[in-house]
Amino acid sequence: MQMVSLGKSGPKVSAIGLGCMGMSGMYGPADRTESIATIHAALDAGINLLDTGDFYGMGHNEMLIGEALKDCDRDQVLLSVKFGAMRDAAGAWLGYDARPKAVRNFLAYTLQRLGVEYIDIYRPSRLDPDVPIEDTIGAVAEMVKAGYVRHIGLSEVGPETIRRAAAVHPICDLQIEYSLVSRGIEDEILPTCRELGIGITAYGVLSRGLISGHWQKGAAGSGDFRAMSPRFQEGNVDQNLALVEALRRVADAKGVTVAQIAIAWVAAHGADIVPLIGARRRDRLSEALGAQSLRLDADDMAAIERSVPKGAAAGARYPEAQLAHMDSERHG
């Protein structure tokens, strides 16, 4: 497994990370035993970066990871945790809370659920519109001084917020969606991060399975985020799946899978970009790991661009109500 520096101030991380959200029901039912086996397989393959959020399954995801890591060497694993999203007992979203005292509270519960003494990378999940980013990052910086957090990250924020946060404390990475069909970071956000020496951990590299090559129309059941995601809706999904079939022809010509070429495309944009693979099963993880050995030359990149041109996807990446909370969308 190739290792890279996560930004100029961050730790050494595997060139691919494991996103664990799908193991807590966000995409329909998940298998606890298979989830833990997948985490172990990822660690065995050299992946050291595990990404979660304290609101994934209302704490379920952190407890699952804690169980998986019980007999592992803590110092060999990097835990990246998002905080701040509020949910009710029915799972509905209630907005965000990134006040300093809320930061301290969220962190205390996260440490308990994961069964660890520190978090490697701690980040607000979104910008709280009621709290200056300086206050939130300042509170996390206090937790760094206290030894409970090692590094500070950001998630789904725009250039101005990134600069303001970095003025308070070094930021190791920005976690944000980046894929063949979600390329909004290329214009302003990615150049800002590169100027400041901030890495990118890219989630949604397969657009929640849409461009994995495995997705079938109408496959989202109840409780699956994709059932309400615009890109999976009637009127959009057929156009998007047509893009996948065009990409499949490029992948077939190289003797690789659609998922592998989509992951390799993200990785090809720089060593400062670490794709997060949202595998819930060992077979999907194994497929994703195959992207590591795939090198794309200029001809390959041009063929991929022809099959999935920038802006070709139909539908937004989140429902409108969620996009309204995303600083990265407002300030591209």
Q: Which tokens in the block code for residue 265? A: 């495309």
Alpha-carbon distance 181 to 183, whole Å? 6
- Name residues whose C-beta falls within 8 Å of residue 67's C-beta, 6 or more positions apart in sequence: 36
Concatenated DSSP letters of 206-222: TTTTTTSS---TT---T
Contact 178, 202 (CB under 8 A): yes
Alpha-carbon distance 310 to 314, whole Å? 11
Could you give the angle at which helices 237-254 and 258-267 cross, rounded to 10 degrees? 90
- Name residues whose C-beta falls within 8 Å of residue 117's C-beta, 6 or more positions apart in sequence: 74, 111, 147, 148
Contact 148, 111 (CB under 8 A): yes
- Sign of the Cα torsion 289, 295, 300, 305 reads positive
Contact 14, 3 (CB under 8 A): yes
Phi, psi at 200, each rounded to 5°: -120, 125
Alpha-carbon distance 106 to 102, whole Å? 6
Nearest-CA neighbor of 16 among 52, 53, 45? 45
Active site residue 56: yes
Contact 308, 247 (CB under 8 A): yes
Could you give the angle at which helices 100-114 and 60-68 cross, rounded to 10 degrees? 40
> Among 56, 96, 122, 318, which one carries the catalytic annotation?
56
Nearest-CA neighbor of 78 among 137, 136, 3? 3
Q: Which active-site residues does the annotation give?
A: 56
